[in-house]
């Protein structure tokens, strides 16, 4: 994998947290010789770029609101101008934006604004960035698009997370249709669906729930990154429209009681 990916260019969204999945993906791709373009919703992305460069990777990045159509297109245009192409797009943005947490509201009490917020940050971001990057991939006849979905909404559910669940399920739906649209153009489109993954944003109740995962622990961002890196590689050329679950077998077990 490391040999065949060297020199490619990857755009990874949602890479603002030092310990998050986005940065783990960027580091994994960088270690494979991939040039990196990262983004997040706040200026802290500059710190992540510095960290990636300090690790010896070629990296650029800037803050952008990917829920905004004009900003998404302008960012994609800038990203492609850096090295002349984008070979890999990883749509990881979502869940929370710095200073704005994901709404946790029952459907009967949810406002339209709260619903729209969840859909916008978790699904529309992926649509806008993918749409902006696709023409270049189509012109060159090669591309890898990987969506970071979730088991929430695709395999399991949680109370008060209807918006998030709908968005993550929608991401898989986008994945299925888009994969067929570009299947004959050298472009693959896949998703990964993480379960409980230990990051700095993990809540105490999430950490407790992870203790009942069949493998006995929460996952690590690096384990998600490994799956993304494979799907983003030329070696995964015959895999498209698929969703790879990364949850330690948690969605397989019905009785999660001790």
Which positions are catalytic? 164
Distance CA 171, CA 150 (A): 9
Which of 15, 41, 133 shows the shortest CA–CA distance to 78? 133
Strands across the sheet with 9-12, in order?
59-63, 35-40, 9-12, 88-91, 143-148, 187-194, 243-246
Three-state secondary structure readout of 125-175: HHHHHHHHHHHHHHHHCCEEEEEECCCECCCECCCCCHHHHHHHHHHHHHH
Question: In this structure, are residues 126 and 147 in contact, taking their beta carbons and an 8 Å threshold?
Answer: yes
Angstrom CA distances, 35 to 21, 95, 222, stand at 18, 26, 18
> What angle in degrees, to the nearest 10, is found between the helix axes of 21-31 and 221-231?
50
Helices and strands, number each (H, E), in the chain: 9, 7
Angstrom CA distances, 155 to 100, 165, 247, stand at 26, 10, 10
């Amino acid at each position: 994998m490391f040999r065949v990916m060297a020199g490619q260019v990857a755009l990874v969204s949602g890479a603002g947290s030092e310990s998050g999945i986005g940065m783990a993906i960027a580091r994994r791709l960088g270690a494979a010789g991939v040039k990196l373009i990262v983004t997040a919703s706040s200026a802290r992305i500059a710190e992540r770029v510095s960290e990636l460069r300090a690790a010896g990777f070629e990296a650029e990045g800037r803050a952008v609101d990917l829920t905004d159509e004009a900003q998404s297109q302008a960012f994609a245009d800038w990203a492609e101008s850096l090295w002349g192409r984008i070979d890999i797009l990883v749509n990881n943005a979502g869940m929370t934006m710095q200073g704005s947490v994901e709404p946790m509201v029952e459907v009967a009490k949810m406002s339209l604004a709260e619903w729209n917020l969840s859909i916008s940050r978790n699904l529309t971001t992926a649509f806008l960035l993918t749409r902006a990057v696709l023409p270049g991939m189509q012109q060159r006849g090669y591309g890898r698009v990987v969506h970071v979905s979730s088991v929430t909404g695709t395999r399991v559910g949680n109370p008060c997370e209807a918006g998030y669940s709908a968005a993550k399920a929608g991401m898989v739906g986008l994945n299925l249709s888009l994969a067929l649209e570009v299947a004959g153009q050298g472009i693959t489109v896949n998703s990964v669906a993480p379960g409980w993954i230990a990051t700095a944003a993990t809540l105490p109740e999430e950490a407790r729930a992870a203790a009942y995962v069949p493998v006995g622990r929460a996952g690590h961002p690096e384990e998600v990154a490994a799956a993304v890196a494979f799907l983003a590689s030329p070696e995964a050329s015959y895999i498209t429209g698929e969703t790879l679950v990364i949850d330690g077998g948690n969605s397989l077990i019905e009785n999660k009681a001790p």
